[in-house]
Protein backbone atom coordinates (compact mmCIF):
# COMPACT_ATOMS: atom_id res chain seq x y z
CA UNK A 1 0.00 0.00 0.00
CA UNK A 2 1.37 3.42 -0.92
CA UNK A 3 1.35 6.55 1.20
CA UNK A 4 -1.56 8.15 -0.64
CA UNK A 5 -3.68 5.06 -0.11
CA UNK A 6 -2.69 4.74 3.56
CA UNK A 7 -3.60 8.37 4.22
CA UNK A 8 -7.09 7.76 2.88
CA UNK A 9 -7.76 5.15 5.57
CA UNK A 10 -8.40 7.43 8.53
CA UNK A 11 -8.83 5.48 11.79
CA UNK A 12 -11.71 6.10 14.15
CA UNK A 13 -11.14 8.86 16.66
CA UNK A 14 -9.81 8.13 20.11
CA UNK A 15 -9.18 10.05 23.28
CA UNK A 16 -6.18 12.31 22.86
CA UNK A 17 -3.42 12.07 25.39
CA UNK A 18 -3.46 10.41 28.77
CA UNK A 19 -6.40 10.79 31.10
CA UNK A 20 -6.12 13.36 33.83
CA UNK A 21 -5.15 11.83 37.18
CA UNK A 22 -7.86 13.88 38.88
CA UNK A 23 -10.55 12.31 36.68
CA UNK A 24 -9.19 8.84 37.46
CA UNK A 25 -9.29 9.53 41.20
CA UNK A 26 -12.83 10.94 40.99
CA UNK A 27 -14.01 7.65 39.51
CA UNK A 28 -12.58 5.72 42.47
CA UNK A 29 -14.10 7.79 45.29
CA UNK A 30 -17.19 6.98 47.32
CA UNK A 31 -20.02 9.50 47.21
CA UNK A 32 -18.98 11.09 50.54
CA UNK A 33 -15.31 11.24 49.58
CA UNK A 34 -16.19 12.66 46.16
CA UNK A 35 -18.24 15.43 47.75
CA UNK A 36 -15.37 16.29 50.12
CA UNK A 37 -12.87 16.13 47.25
CA UNK A 38 -14.97 18.42 45.06
CA UNK A 39 -15.27 20.86 47.97
CA UNK A 40 -11.49 20.81 48.47
CA UNK A 41 -10.92 21.41 44.73
CA UNK A 42 -13.28 24.39 44.86
CA UNK A 43 -11.55 25.70 47.98
CA UNK A 44 -8.16 25.58 46.26
CA UNK A 45 -9.53 26.86 42.96
CA UNK A 46 -11.32 29.78 44.61
CA UNK A 47 -8.02 31.22 45.83
CA UNK A 48 -6.34 33.64 43.42
CA UNK A 49 -3.52 31.89 41.60
CA UNK A 50 -1.03 34.41 42.97
CA UNK A 51 -2.08 33.50 46.52
CA UNK A 52 -1.85 29.75 45.80
CA UNK A 53 1.67 30.06 44.42
CA UNK A 54 2.98 31.96 47.46
CA UNK A 55 1.76 29.28 49.88
CA UNK A 56 0.23 32.00 52.07
CA UNK A 57 -2.99 30.00 52.07
CA UNK A 58 -3.17 26.40 53.26
CA UNK A 59 -5.49 25.22 50.48
CA UNK A 60 -3.00 24.58 47.68
CA UNK A 61 -2.52 21.99 44.97
CA UNK A 62 0.50 20.72 46.91
CA UNK A 63 -1.63 20.19 50.04
CA UNK A 64 -4.39 18.50 48.06
CA UNK A 65 -2.00 16.17 46.23
CA UNK A 66 -0.23 15.26 49.48
CA UNK A 67 -3.52 14.58 51.27
CA UNK A 68 -4.77 12.36 48.45
CA UNK A 69 -1.48 10.45 48.30
CA UNK A 70 -1.44 9.97 52.09
CA UNK A 71 -4.90 8.43 51.80
CA UNK A 72 -4.05 5.96 49.05
CA UNK A 73 -4.77 8.04 45.93
CA UNK A 74 -1.35 8.71 44.46
CA UNK A 75 -1.19 11.92 42.46
CA UNK A 76 1.60 14.42 41.96
CA UNK A 77 1.42 18.11 42.72
CA UNK A 78 2.18 18.77 39.05
CA UNK A 79 -0.88 16.85 37.89
CA UNK A 80 -3.04 18.66 40.44
CA UNK A 81 -1.64 22.06 39.43
CA UNK A 82 -2.17 21.31 35.74
CA UNK A 83 -5.77 20.30 36.49
CA UNK A 84 -6.42 23.48 38.47
CA UNK A 85 -5.06 25.57 35.59
CA UNK A 86 -7.43 23.77 33.21
CA UNK A 87 -4.53 22.40 31.17
CA UNK A 88 -5.32 18.72 31.69
CA UNK A 89 -6.94 16.19 29.38
CA UNK A 90 -10.27 16.12 31.21
CA UNK A 91 -10.88 19.87 30.93
CA UNK A 92 -13.03 19.97 34.06
CA UNK A 93 -12.39 21.49 37.45
Provide the percentage of residues in the chain whose pLDDT is more than 90: 41
75 in Cβ contact with 67 (< 8 Å): no
CA pair distance 88, 75, nearest whole angstrom: 13
Question: Would you tell me how many other CB atoms lie within 10 Å of the CB of residue 37?
Answer: 19
Coil, helix or strand for 93?
Answer: coil
pTM for this prediction? 0.71
pLDDT digit string, tens, across residues 31-70: 999 999 999 999 888 877 666 566 656 888 889 999 999 9
pLDDT of residue 13: 56
Amino acid sequence: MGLAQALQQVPEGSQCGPRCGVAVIREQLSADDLAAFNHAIELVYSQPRSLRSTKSHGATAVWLAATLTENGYEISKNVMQRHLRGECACGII
